[in-house]
Amino acid sequence: MTGPARTTGRMRAAGLVRRIRRIRPGCPIRPTRSAGPARPIRQRAAMAVLLVAGLVLPLVLAGWGTSGGRAGAGPAVRGADAAAGAGAGKGVGAGEAEAEAGDGAGPSPGHGGPDRLPPVVDHVPTRDKVVFLTYDDGAERDPRFIDLVRGRRLPVSMFLTDSVVGPGYGHFARLRSVGASLQNHTLDHPALRGLPYAGQRAEICGQQRKLGSRFGIRPHLFRPPYGTYDTTTLRAAGDCGIAAVVLWRVTLEGDGTLTYTRGAHRLTPGDIISVPAGETPALTLAERTTRLLRELEERGLRVGRLEDYVRRP
């Protein structure tokens, strides 16, 4: 290269250096004779690439991070929804299950302990001057007794045993038509105490069904034969829809006299009087009842309806 050309080349190289230094002050670029102008251009390109990369890469990374965050948020949200759904499902399902268990898993009627057993009564606490006439079995079918009940409007209670009444239900239908109530005294009149639950239930529920089919009624009072019973009797009675087990404090005997199971040996308000069926009573049913009514009048007492004082719960 000649002198002028060499000088021109140097001037051009110096000019490029000055331009690059204006872009990047202090840049240590030294021109060479063989590749003076080319090396600064490549460095400028490299710097531009680095600059673009420095600006773009954070944006790309940010974009990836955001995208990654959203992708990660998907399962997180689904997990929260699933957890909330599971919690809601558990809450609702558990509540319903507990309600059903509370409703369905409790003791059956009559098996829930003493508080569910029907009460046993032989006297009604009352200030009313009333006593209650109750007749057992259904063996005596005195036509004059029907006339007495009708004429005196006596609200008597008849505790009927199916095997004793037999074909005589028509007599008690007439009694019912004149104001008597019909109640349960078992199918076959066994002594219930000590019998298994199934046997006692069959006796009590069986008579419930009999009276229901005969008269369209469902008695709520029950008298155990001979006045004997146990806790099993009460459980069975409760299961059969019985509201109270009725005993007695006073007995009207076949000869018309009164006997007492406990307490004062005189009639008092609230007494439940039992009139059992006698095999060969000295007095008919109508005669015994008439004699008792005279004594009640002397004491200022009258006959009350037991079902009005011992009601269904």
Q: How confident is the model at residue 66 (pLDDT cuts 50, 70, 90)?
A: very low
- Number of Cβ within 10 Å of residue 238's Cβ equals 22
Burial of 280 (0-12, 13-18, 19+ CB in 10 A): exposed
Q: Which distant-in-sequence residues (6+ apart) come within 8 Å of 56 by Cβ?
A: none
pTM over 0.75: no
Q: How confident is the model at residue 116 (pLDDT cuts 50, 70, 90)?
A: confident
Which amino acid makes up residue 287? Answer: E
Q: How confident is the model at residue 107 (pLDDT cuts 50, 70, 90)?
A: very low
Torsion, Cα of 25, 30, 34, 36 (10° steps): 20
Which has more confidence, 225 or 279?
225
pLDDT of 131 above 70: yes
Distances (CA, A) of 15 to 9, 23, 32, 170, 194: 10, 13, 14, 140, 128
Pairing, β 250-252 against β 258-260: antiparallel
Q: How confident is the model at residue 308 (pLDDT cuts 50, 70, 90)?
A: very high
Q: How confident is the model at residue 89 (pLDDT cuts 50, 70, 90)?
A: very low
Q: How confident is the model at residue 12 (pLDDT cuts 50, 70, 90)?
A: low
CA atoms within 13 A on the CB side of 56: 6
**What percentage of residues in the chain have a pLDDT greater than 70?**
63
65-69, 82-86, 238-242, 245-249: least confident range: 82-86
Which has more confidence, 45 or 133?
133
Which amino acid makes up residue 26? Answer: G
93-97, 154-158, 275-279: least confident range: 93-97
Which has more confidence, 234 or 28?
234
Contact 235, 110 (CB under 8 A): yes
What pLDDT, on the 0 to 100 scale, is given for residue 126?
A: 96
The tens digit of pLDDT for each residue in 231-273 reads 999 999 999 999 999 999 999 999 999 999 999 999 999 999 9
Residue 313 to residue 306: CA distance in whole angstroms: 15
